A and B are shown apart, each in its own frame.
Chain A
Amino acid sequence: MAVEAIGSSQRVKVAPWNDPVIRGWVFQIVVVGLVGLLAWYLVSNTMENLQRQKIASGFDYLGREAGFEIGDTMIEYSPASTYARAIWVGILNTLRVAVLGILLSTILGTVIGVGRLSPNWLLSRICEWYVEAFRNVPLLLWLFLFYKLISEAFPGPRQAIGAFWNTVFLSNRGLYFPVPMEDPIHKWMGLGLLVGLAAAVALHRWAKRRQEATGQPFPSILAGIGMTLGVPFVVWLAGGAPHHMSWPELKGFNFVGGTVIQPEFTALLIGLVLYTSAFVAEIVRSGILALHKGQSEAAAALGLSRGQSMRLVLLPQALRVIVPPMTSQYLNITKNSSLAIAIGYPDLVASINVTINQTGQAIENILIIMAAYLSVSLSISAFMNWYNKRIALRER
C-alpha cells in the first residue's frame, strides 16, 4: 500500500502494459477467470458423465425412506425416517462427541500441563509420561484399545454389575442409569437454567466492579452456581415436583428404560479426550513457560499462594499464547471424531457412508459431509478468534 501511495502521488506516464496497477489487475482477472473455467469444466464434465451413465443426481433422495437403523440417536429416529434425518442424527452425534471432547480435554489438558511444571518430581514425571505415551501412539490404536477393553472386560447384560441398590448397571452394552420421566416441566426448568445463568453472570460482573472499586471481595462463584441450579429447582418445586423416574431393568436381551451411555461413544470420547489432552498439556505448558520468570516471583512476593499465582497471575497471561494453537486442537477433535467409523459409533461419516452405499449418490453426499464439517470448524474458529481478541493484551 505504501509503495502504491508514493507511486500515485508522483505519477509518471507509462504505457498501460508497464503500469504495475493495471498489470496487477489484469493478472488477477486472468487467474480468477482460469479458476472459474476449471471449476465450470469440472462441474459440467461430471454432470455430463453422470447423465451418460444414467447415475441419478440431485438431492431428491434426502426425502426418501432411509431403511436402515441407527444404534445411538439423540433424536427420534427409525428405519422409516428419511435419509435427511439419518444424516441429521449423524451430525448431532458428531457434535455431541466433539463438544464433550473439547470441554473435557481442555480441563484434563490444563491439569496435566500445569502438573508437568509442578516442583513435585513424581507428579511432573507422571504428567510427562502421560504426554509422551498419548501423543506418540496413533489415535486409532487408542480407540481400538479402549473399545476392546470395554467390550471384552465388562460382563454381558445378564451378568451386569449393579450399583447404587441396583439402579445403575454396567455391562458391555453400556452404562444404564435412571432418568426422570418426560414431563412438561422440563422445558420450563431449562428456561429457568438459562435465567439463573444470566443472573449469575450479571452478579459476577457486579462483584468484580465492586471489588475493583472498594476492594471488598464477594463469593460470586459460589453464589452464581447456587443461582444457576437454584432457579430450575424452584421451577421444579413450583411445578408440583414431579418425581416419576424411568428405571433400567433387564427385559429379554437388554436393559429397558432409563438411559444409556453406549460403549462405542464412551470409547471414542475417552480416546479423543486422552489423546488431545496430551497436546493441550504441551500448549498450556508452553504458554506458561513463555511468561517471564519475574511474573511468578512478583506474585510470590505479593504473598499469593502457588495456586493463586497460577490462577490470578500466570494463566490469564498465558492464555494469550495458549488460545491460538488451542483452536487447532479443537478443530482436530472435531475432525478426528470421524475415526468413530472404526469402532462403530454412528457419527456423520457413518450415516453418510451408508447413504452413499444405498443411494449410489457419492458426489451429493460428499458435498453434504464437507459442508457439515466446514460449518462446524468455521464456527469453532470464529468463536476462538472472538475469544482471542477479547483476552488480547490491550495497549493502554
Chain B
Amino acid sequence: MLNKIMAAGVVAVGLVGAAGTAQAGKDLDAVKARGQLICGVSTGVAGFASADSQGKWTGIDVDVCRAVSAALFGDSEKVKYVPTTAQQRFTALQSGEVDLLSRTTTYTLTRDTALGFDFTGVNYYDGQGFMVNKKLGVKSAKELNGATVCVQPGTTTELNLADYFRANKMTFKPVVIEKIEEVRAAFFAGRCDVFTTDASGLYATRAANAPNPDDYIILPEIISKEPLGPVVRHGDNQFADIVRWALYAMIEAEEYGITSKNVDEMLKSDNPSIKRILGVTPGMGKALGVDEKWVYNIVKSVGNYGESFDRNVGAGSPLKIARGQNELWTKGGLQYAPPIR
C-alpha cells in the first residue's frame, strides 16, 4: 500500500521533471556519451526477458534492446539490463534510470500520453487467455461457467475477466492474491480451475512453473488486446526513431528473407530494396543518424524478427508459442513494418 503511494509520488515528481527535459537529442547524446544503452526489462519472464546463471539476458524483449545497441554502436552487447517490476517500470523510465523500457508493456492511450511516454511499436501482439488442467476436459472458455479463477488484483486482467463472464452470461468465483508467485502456486495446487493472464504469460508460466507442463492447456479464446512494445520518454524524437526502426528493421529483414546466416550473401543481392536495407545503397543510415550498416549489424548479431521469435518463445524454445498474430502480414499475421526507403 505504502509502496504504491510512494510510487505514485515518485511518478508525480518524475512527470514534473520530465517536462523540463524535452529537448531533442538529449537522451541519444547521453547514450552515445555513455557508450552503453540502459534497458529496462522484466524481472524474469521466460522467453521475454530472463537471465541465466552467468547473468546473460535472453528473450524477445531483450532482443529489442540488443537491436538498438547494434544499430547505435555496431555491437549488440553494449547494453546494461535493469530488471524492473510492474510497479517500478514507469517510474524508472520517467526518472531517466533507464533509456528504454522493453518489458511486456501494453500500449495504451494513457501510457502514451499522460505518463509522458512514446511507444515505438509492437514486438508482441498479446491478449488475455485462460489456462486449465487437461483433466477438466474443457475445450473452450465458453464452457467455464461456475469455475474458480485465479487472477492478480488491480490489473486490466481482472476487469477483462469480469467483463467476459458477464458478456457470456456466466458466473465465476475469483481467487485474488497480490503476489504473482502465490497466484501461480494456488492455481497449480488446484485451488482454482482456471488461471488467467496475458497468453504469453500463460505459456511462460506453463513452461517454467508447472509441475508437469503437459497437464495444462491454454484455451483458444483470447479476450482482450494487449499489444506489447518498447517505450521511450517523450521528447527525444531521434532516439525514439532509432528504437522504432531497429524493431522495424528486424521485421523488414524477415519479410525480405534476410537472416543472420545469409546476411553476408545478401550483401551481394541485386534486389534494390535489399541493397537499400543493408546499406549497400547508402542513405538510410544517414537519415536515421546511425551507421549505414545498421540493419546488417542488427541482423548479423540478433537475427530477424522471425529468428528472434523462434529462438525465444517459438518452436525453438521451451514455450513453443505459435506465431499466430505475430506472423508477418504477408502470412496472415499482424507484424507489418513500413518500408525502409
CB contact under 8 A between A69 and B161, given known A263-B191, A341-B178, A356-B4: yes
Q: Give the residue name and chain of the A residue nearest to B162 (CB).
A: A79
Quick check: which of A118-126, A246-254, A286-294, A328-336 contacts chain B, the rest being far away? A246-254
CA distance A366 to B12 in the complex (A): 18
| Mask: chain B, 99-126; 1 = CB below 8 Å from A; 0 = not | 0000000000000001000000000000
B191 near A254: Cβ-Cβ < 8 Å: no
CA distance A169 to B290 in the complex (A): 68
Kindly provide the distance from the CB of A116 to the nearest chain B CB, expressed in whole angstroms.
Answer: 35
Q: Does A239 sit at the interface, judged by CB under 8 A? A: no
Q: Does B315 sit at the interface, judged by CB under 8 A? A: no
B186 near A69: Cβ-Cβ < 8 Å: no
Contacts of A350 in B (CB 8 A): 153, 176
Question: Which residues of chain A in 295-325 are interfacial with respect to chain B, using CB atoms and an 8 Å cutoff?
Answer: none
CB contact under 8 A between A342 and B177, given known A362-B4, A366-B5: yes
B148 near A173: Cβ-Cβ < 8 Å: yes
Which one of B4, B5, B12, B189 has the highest number of Cβ atoms from chain A below 10 Å of its Cβ? B189
A353 near B153: Cβ-Cβ < 8 Å: yes
Kindly provide the distance from the CB of B212 to the nearest chain A CB, expressed in whole angstroms.
Answer: 16
Of B147, B155, B162, B177, the contact of A254 (CB 8 Å cutoff): B147
Q: Give the residue name and chain of the A residue nearest to B146 (CB).
A: A252
Contacts of A156 in B (CB 8 A): 190
CB contact under 8 A between A343 and B177, given known A172-B191, A357-B153: yes
A71 near B189: Cβ-Cβ < 8 Å: no
Q: Does A354 sit at the interface, judged by CB under 8 A? A: yes
CB contact under 8 A between A253 and B136, given known A68-B162, A358-B159: yes
| Mask: chain B, 140-155; 1 = CB below 8 Å from A; 0 = not | 0000111110000111
CB contact under 8 A between A342 and B178, given known A69-B161, A152-B189: yes
Kindly provide the distance from the CB of A56 to the nearest chain B CB, expressed in whole angstroms.
Answer: 12
Contacts of B186 in A (CB 8 A): 151, 344
A67 near B162: Cβ-Cβ < 8 Å: yes
Q: Does A264 sit at the interface, judged by CB under 8 A? A: yes
A354 near B161: Cβ-Cβ < 8 Å: no
B4 near A69: Cβ-Cβ < 8 Å: no
Of A69, A341, A346, the contact of B172 (CB 8 Å cutoff): A69
Which one of B15, B114, B158 has the highest number of Cβ atoms from chain A below 10 Å of its Cβ? B158
B146 near A71: Cβ-Cβ < 8 Å: no
B146 near A69: Cβ-Cβ < 8 Å: no
Question: In terms of DSSP, what is the predominant structure of the interface of chain B?
Answer: mixed
CB contact under 8 A between A80 and B166, given known A70-B174, A343-B177, A353-B1: yes
Contacts of B175 in A (CB 8 A): 71, 264, 344
* Interface size class, chain A: 35 or more
Question: In terms of DSSP, what is the predominant structure of the interface of chain A?
Answer: mixed
Q: Does A269 sit at the interface, judged by CB under 8 A? A: no
Q: Does A53 sit at the interface, judged by CB under 8 A? A: yes
CB contact under 8 A between A253 and B148, given known A353-B1, A357-B153: yes
The number of residues on chain B lying at the interface, defined by a beta carbon within 8 Å of a beta carbon of chain A, is: 38
Contacts of A67 in B (CB 8 A): 159, 162-163
Q: Give the residue name and chain of the A residue nearest to B144 (CB).
A: A253
Contacts of B155 in A (CB 8 A): 357
Q: Does B182 sit at the interface, judged by CB under 8 A? A: yes
Q: Does B173 sit at the interface, judged by CB under 8 A? A: yes
Kindly provide the distance from the CB of B139 to the nearest chain A CB, expressed in whole angstroms.
Answer: 14
CA distance A256 to B172 in the complex (A): 12
CB contact under 8 A between A349 and B176, given known A253-B193, A254-B148: no
Kindly provide the distance from the CB of A96 to the nearest chain B CB, expressed in whole angstroms.
Answer: 17
Question: Which residues of chain A in 236-273 are interfacial with respect to chain B, using CB atoms and an 8 Å cutoff?
Answer: 251-254, 256, 263-264
Kindly provide the distance from the CB of A97 to the nearest chain B CB, expressed in whole angstroms.
Answer: 16
Contacts of A358 in B (CB 8 A): 154, 159
Question: Which residues of chain A in 176-211 are interfacial with respect to chain B, using CB atoms and an 8 Å cutoff?
Answer: none
Kindly provide the distance from the CB of B291 to the nearest chain A CB, expressed in whole angstroms.
Answer: 41
Q: Does A49 sit at the interface, judged by CB under 8 A? A: yes
CA distance A172 to B154 in the complex (A): 25
Kindly provide the distance from the CB of B341 to the nearest chain A CB, expressed in whole angstroms.
Answer: 41
Contacts of A343 in B (CB 8 A): 177, 182
Kindly provide the distance from the CB of B50 to the nearest chain A CB, expressed in whole angstroms.
Answer: 26
A342-B177, A356-B4 known; 6 new pairs, CB 8 Å cut-off, are A68-B162, A151-B186, A151-B189, A156-B190, A172-B190, A172-B191
Ordered by A's residue number, 13 sampled pairs between the chains whose C-beta atoms are within 8 Å are A69-B174, A70-B174, A71-B176, A80-B166, A152-B189, A342-B182, A344-B177, A344-B186, A353-B4, A354-B154, A357-B153, A362-B4, A366-B1
User: When A and B form their complex, which 9 residue pairs have the shortest distance between CB atoms, in order from nearest?
Assistant: A357-B154, A344-B177, A79-B162, A151-B191, A253-B147, A151-B189, A252-B146, A71-B174, A69-B174
